[in-house]
Structure 1
Amino acid sequence: MIGGANVLLYFGANLAPRLSTFVLLLVLTRLLPVEEYGLFALVVTTGEILDMAVGGWVRLFILSSDSGRGHPSAAQFGRTLVLTVVSCVVSLVGALVLALVQPNLAGPFTLAVLIYVGAFAILRLGLTLLQTRQDHKLYAGIEVGRAVLSLACAVGAEMAVGSTFLPASLGVSLATLVMGLIACGLSFRHMPRPTIPLDGYRAALAFGIPIVLVTLLGQVVGWLDRFILNHAMGPASVGLYAAAFALARQPVELFSGSLNPYTYPMLVRSYLNDGREVAGRIQAGTLVALLLLCGAVTIGVALLSQPFGALVLPEPYRLEATRVMPWIALATLCTSLKNFCFDNVFFVVRKNWQQLVSMVPPAIVSAVFGLLLIPHGGPQAAAVVAAFSAFVALAGSAVLSRRLLPFTLASRALVGLVVASMLAAAALVGVRALLVGQPPLVILLGATVAFSAVYAAGLSLAGFSLHRMFDRPWEVWQDKAAVGQPVNVSASC
């Protein structure tokens, strides 16, 4: 079951850094004052915004261009290097501009962001090249190594140097840089000697410019709230919000982020080689798989936010976490469906400008409601605005992308998902009520086991084939009408 092994490799590659970040954030809530923790969260937030907004399109361009073809030529590889360097420079300039907009983020904060952006640009280049070569084991090894090294360097630096955000940030960046250089070194060995072409950039820019604009609008939807909180209430408020946000976000994104590196290249190959009908079936199956996994996690996080927060967060963070986590889990579910299902269509069919149209309404909603509500309502208002904006973004992306790649969902699959989810949620609530007064860990374990058992049983009775999640996740629901037309995955294995 080679395809299943690849899914597990990407799951591990996604799990390790997320688990490392999750543990690091929890450790830092105990090592750093709340204000310093908020500044660390802002470094990570700013670095992710700049990396994804300015450099993310280069990686998508490489995957979309090379996933269905052979190794790149010397000119293609050279063009990739040029685009990566230019995008990294633009990101660094963006970090300097931010310091002018919010002066309290100048000095050490700007230095930390600059190093963070540079390190991650190198890492993403190496990982993308490994992904296009379908070197799944090396990809996973680099990510697992980064996870272990980042946690060790950040915690070690913080314990050795002092209680400010800077040592932890530099520790993460150093570990990322080391693993990024290793990834680039391993991938460059199999690449031709690059030549720098003078042409061919127009197509890349036509592909990338709308993605940059879309990503910037997406960052307004997803991350503007932290900067509003920082401006209105200071870094301490950001720290409270960021801790609860990470606690709710990581479990949901763990599953969506694990599927996408495997399903997106498959969608590209199917569209290029087999046509719209086969690609539409993969898209429908991917949506069902995401709903099955991420929907269940969202329900669990929302219903268990109180014991979850009590177990892992210090006392000053717990009340805010209970208020914020259900909304952030819902926002993350909507964002995951948008990013890892519907938005992929725009990249595959090269209609990125339509994706830009879908992001304008949620960006306006996020900015207007954020500026009006967050200064008065604090972290809880920020979470509500985040959930509403993410829902608007999901709706727009779903409507427009389905015009480009139509697909249908079996009504029996949706009904089965809803019924299984409701029964599992009822089981969770019942066990949680029975365990009132017990330690948080006992409540979490008992309620999770009850939810998982009832959910798995309900899905199996409804006709889902759960073992497909490890082999062909887009076929977790096997529509009877398409049984005789299985999707060929040999190219992805």
Structure 2
Amino acid sequence: MSTQTTSSAERIGRGLGWSLTGNVVLRLGNVAVSILMARLIAPDELGVFAVALTIWAILGTLAEFGLGSDLVRASDPERRAPTVATLGVLTSGILALGMLLAAEPLAAAFRSPESRGVIAVMAISIAIFGLSIVPAARLQREFRQGTLFVVNGAGLVASALVMATLATRDVGPASLAWGQVANQVVVVLGLHLATRSRPRFGMDREIARASLAFCLPLALANLVSWALLSVDNLIVARVLGPAELGLYLLAFNVSSWPMSAVGQALRVVALPGFSQVQDTAARNRALVRTVAPAAAVAVLMGLTLATLAGPLVAVLYGERWAGAAAALAGLAVFGGLRVLLDLVATFLIAVGATGAVLAVQLLWMAALVPAMYLGLSGFGLAGAGWSHVVIAVAVVVPAYVVCLRRAGVDTGAFLRAGFVPLAAAVPAAAACAWVGAWSGPPLLVLSAGCLVALVTYALPLAPWWLRRLTDLRRSDADRPDPVRLTRKSPT
């Protein structure tokens, strides 16, 4: 085994460890902030902010334009950096201006005229975002997830301080928007300090053409992906109103805990990791080996959130948010699925199949919109949550299986890798649901449910999970032929 192979494996392992730890800590911090803000603002005020957040999330994804991913997988990142920085600033600036000018009609589309000013404030954050693309990509390439954790943690603290201060002065939903702006300012400054760099701009037409050829399908796929995660907000707002949207947004944020803690940690390591595996067969096997341990953690978090939705919301956010539990049950299952779907999408991006990712996202969107309307009309917020699950299982998973097969992945082995966690989840979910239906103090029910999840799922599955994790580490470090991590030669 070569020194370079060992060094790369160690960097990936260290990066994944920091990424997982950082995402868990940041997620706990976000939960603490959301609990604080839930005590300071009402559901209808959160609904007003949700309108602006929906637009910001979609445009923010488009502002990134896939440029960071292009730098992460490039063989000559420093030569490309000035051009990428210019493209990023131009893109984010144009989108921010458009968001500002369209604030009034966008608010009207959501039937929430109160959100106009909040949308305008959030546009500032979009404008600043373009400056973060290049330094963030540098840290991701070098697997410096510890540094990213510190930077994002500083942004979270700044955001919390601004939001809490303004909320106590009756600024209302705009306090959340100014918190997002503060977060973005601190993150941009922190990234440049961490990389000891300052913005450098330039324009090489050849680099720009090559970058746009890779980024355009990826940007559109990301746009559709975030639209998928946001179109439900539009539908809920139009069908049920801002107050119900506030409940739904809180439920969706809680359901995103598996993705925030596990999925994002995997993504920032998987993209450079898969990109740097030169051998196609080895890269495909690495994906299959990654699925099992990731699925086990995602299933544990998803089943716990889904079966204990009622007491969880009551304990963390208070009784006035109890209506969010109806949506959380289905959304939590979807949150676990998102971890694996995002892993597949990251793999396809790493191998350059951005067109395939875009095609799946478009198919997903086409199926989800009518399903959401039907779910809301028939079952209210609960129908909205379970609509995500139905479409993910019936449409998205088969579509991604086809894409993986075309990339040469053994899809049978890929699907079998998640069988054990899913089978173990059935009795555990039944037991947790039984506990979750108890009448009694919510804290007691929640504590008992978590204990049952630990006893019926986590502990019995722990030896299996550790073997899968050991196999993954051994495959990366002790089998140099299939998984030698070397830089790809320029194409």
Query: Which TM-score bucket, shorter chain as reference?
Result: 0.7 to 0.9
Query: Is residue 2:123 matched to residue 1:117?
Result: no
Q: 5+ unaligned residues in a row in structure 1: which ranges? A: none
Give the Cα–Cα distance (whole angstroms) in 2 for the partners of residues 63 and 21 of structure 1: 27
C-alpha contact (below 8 Å) 1:278/1:487 kept by paired residues: yes
1:204 aligned residue: 211
Residue 261 (1) aligns with residue 268 (2)? yes
Map of 2:3 onto structure 1: none
User: What is the CA-CA distance between 1:183 and the residue it aligns to?
Assistant: 0.9
Match of 1:87 among 70, 75, 91: 91
1:324 equivalent in structure 2: 327
> 1:15 aligns to what?
24
Sequence identity percentage:
19
Are the aligned partners of 1:342 and 1:397 in contact in 2 as well (CA < 8 Å)? yes
Could you tell me which of 407, 412, 424 is aligned with 1:404?
Answer: 407
Higher alpha-carbon deviation: 123-132 or 175-184: 123-132
Letter in 2 for 1:396: A
Match of 1:234 in 2: 241
1:38 is displaced (CA, Å) by 0.8
SS in 2 for 1:200: helix
Q: Identify the residue that residue 337 of structure 2 maps to in structure 1.
A: 334
Structure 1 position 322, deviation (Å): 2.5
Instruction: Give me the whole-angstrom Cα distance separating, in 2, the residues matched to 1:367 and 1:317.
Output: 26
- The CA deviation at 1:144 is 1.8
Residue 173 (1) aligns with residue 158 (2) = no
Deviation at 1:417, TM superposition (A): 2.6
Aligned to 2:5: none
Q: 1:326 to 1:16 in 2, by over 3 A?
A: same
Q: 1:252 to 1:8 in 2, by over 3 A?
A: same
Give me the whole-angstrom Cα distance separating, in 1, the residues matched to 2:181 and 2:25: 16
Select 2:143's aligned residue among 128, 134, 145: 134
Segments ≥4 residues shifted beyond 4 Å: 1-4, 410-415, 429-433, 460-464, 482-486, 488-491
Deviates more, 1:417-426 or 1:235-244: 417-426
Rounded to whole Å, the distance in 2 between the matches of 1:427 and 1:402 is 36
TM-score, structure 2 length as denominator? 0.85
* C-alpha distance in 1 between matches for 2:341 and 2:414: 20
Is 1:182 aligned to residue 184 of structure 2? no
Shift of 1:332: 2.0
Q: Distance in 2 between matches of 1:406 and 1:227?
A: 37
Give the match for residue 454 of structure 2. 452
- Please show how residues 239-250 of structure 1 align to structure 2 within 5 Å: 239-250=246-257
Shift of 1:327: 0.9
Mapped to 2, the partners of 1:379 and 1:431 lie a distance apart of 23
1:164-186 Cα distance to aligned partner (Å, 9 max, x none):
11123202311321231221243
**Equivalent residue in structure 1 for 2:221, among 199, 210, 214:** 214
Are the counterparts in 2 of residues 424 and 450 from structure 1 also a CA contact under 8 Å? yes
Give the corresponding residue for 2:346.
344
How far did residue 81 of structure 1 move? 0.7
Distance 1:229 1:139 in 2: 34
Which runs of structure 2 are paired with 1:302-313 in the superposition (5 Å)? 302-313=306-317
Q: Is the 2:92–2:127 contact (alpha carbons within 8 Å) kept by the matching residues of 1?
A: yes
Per the alignment, residue 6 of structure 2 pairs with none
- Report the Cα distance in structure 2 between the residues aligned to 1:199 and 1:413, rounded to whole angstroms: 42
Asked if 1:365 corresponds to 2:374, the answer is no
**What's the CA shift for 1:297?**
0.9
Q: Distance between the aligned counterparts of 2:404 and 2:414, measured in 1?
A: 19
Query: Distance in 1 between the 2:298 and 2:467 partners?
Result: 17
Query: How big is the shift at 1:2?
Result: 6.0
The answer as to whether partners of 1:115 and 1:170 remain within 8 angstroms in 2 is no
2:50 maps to which of 25, 41, 47:
41
Determine the structure 1 residue equivalent to 2:357: 355
**Are 2:78 and 1:64 aligned?**
no
Q: Is the 8 A contact 1:53 1:216 kept in 2?
A: yes
CA contact 1:373–1:381 (8 Å) conserved in 2: yes
Tell me by how many angstroms 1:363 deviates: 1.0
Which amino acid in the other structure matches residue 368 of structure 1?
Answer: P
Query: Post-superposition shift, 1:241?
Result: 0.9
Of 93, 97, 103, the match for 2:102: 97
User: Aligned with 2:91: secondary structure?
Assistant: helix
Paired residue type of 2:421: L
Separation of aligned partners in 2, 1:299 and 1:437: 20
Q: 1:5, CA displacement in angstroms?
A: 3.6
Compute the displacement of 1:442 (Å). Answer: 2.9
Residue 387 (1) aligns with residue 389 (2): yes
Partner of 2:170: 162
Q: Is the 1:123–1:183 contact (alpha carbons within 8 Å) kept by the matching residues of 2?
A: yes
Choose 20-29 or 202-211, whichever is displaced more.
20-29
Contact 2:270 2:346 in 1 (8 A): no
